[in-house]
Structure 1
């Protein structure tokens, strides 16, 4: 008779219980009114899989994508057209950046606005001579620079191309004004005068925003103001501060006084209607207002660190 073998019950698990010969029938308990858990919801499974509705939508999108690819394979010209459009957009994008970089250093001798004014005089009795003289920023009296900032865009040294507070104020005022008031900054005016055609459209406005961002990033404030002082329309067929000073005052823009600079800035909203040489009572009143604003801003030191 062999001795009974000891079993280490701490290391060896006990033998499993024998399984029942037949499964127990499930009990049908009545629903006591308890809400089902989120895991039993028909929309998602317990493993976090997407709902049946989302799966059906994914299958529909996948099917449409496959049908689109098959349609393009059946019509090879569509692929050629899409590639041509993509390459055109890329060329225009790179070309616009190169154009902006080049004009950071080169004088802006002509703009779409000067060409338009020249074209309008063809076949008429009006003079077709364009008065325009480029002057570097250092050769223009800073009173002129301060005057246009005080008149057109007092937040010019601080914003990044757009004055959103002024835009909101203009939207509120234009709800009751008969003639809409603009809220374009000096940067926006330079962008549309130098790079865009004349007129109004949503496409032009979108391009204006695009070029405004570019010149703010690439040119900087000083170059933007320099270009504005040279391309802004200051009178009939007259563009720039230097041309206006020589034509209407008889001397260079380097020797402009504060009142003379303020009068040039006063006619900028409509230089073909208002006159620098023969200012109306409105222009005289506006000139005094701009001169007061120039003093309130602190004089030339306001634009010294552009």
Structure 2
């Protein structure tokens, strides 16, 4: 019993001594070390990686700066605009060839005073006009095959903009020029009636009015005048040629009037008495209006009951 108590006391003393030593070691100051003995910073592969990234960043900045300067030089950036584009107080000015990939909305397109305005397209050029609601009121399309205009009224004016030259709408087409010239070898083809005060050919060319499959009719409220100042005047028809005046007369004014291929009538009832070598004939008119020739005598030899008139 006494030995166990002595052992417990000795173990307690040893434990107290260790606790005292441990507490004293905590209050002791560590000896100071100089910079050579205790280095601070990145060393080894970490330092080399940091320098590499800094160098890469510097190279990237230099390349970006060079590309920026090159783009500014190539695109010609300035305070007023870039390249051929200039921003003015009254709008935008483009110099040289410009290409638009999307629709262009403008109020006015004007060229320079010393050059013309040229619009080019690989397919076609379409100009649209819209009202305040966005509805299309007019369209002009210039294509490879035709030029089409869709509008309520198409008008063409002179260079000064004062005189109207051509206008077209749903009801009629008006040409207000003093002279309308057709230079085609086949002339002009009209599917319906044509109203004009005068039709005249050039001085060195012939005037020809022709209807190959239908009739040709010329009408006027105060008369129709057909004249040839120099050269012959020929009127031909496959079937009937009709000259009609409802209130007036038909005047044929010329130095000589020739009516070819008129039938020859017989003065007497006996055909043998009609001379085949008659030097002169007179022109007779049947009640139906048909013309025929009759041998000329001292008196008129025209007969209303002639065989020509009876069988006409």
Structure 2 length as normaliser, TM-score? 0.21
Structure with greater proportional strand content? 2
Structure with greater proportional helix content? 1
Larger radius of gyration: 2
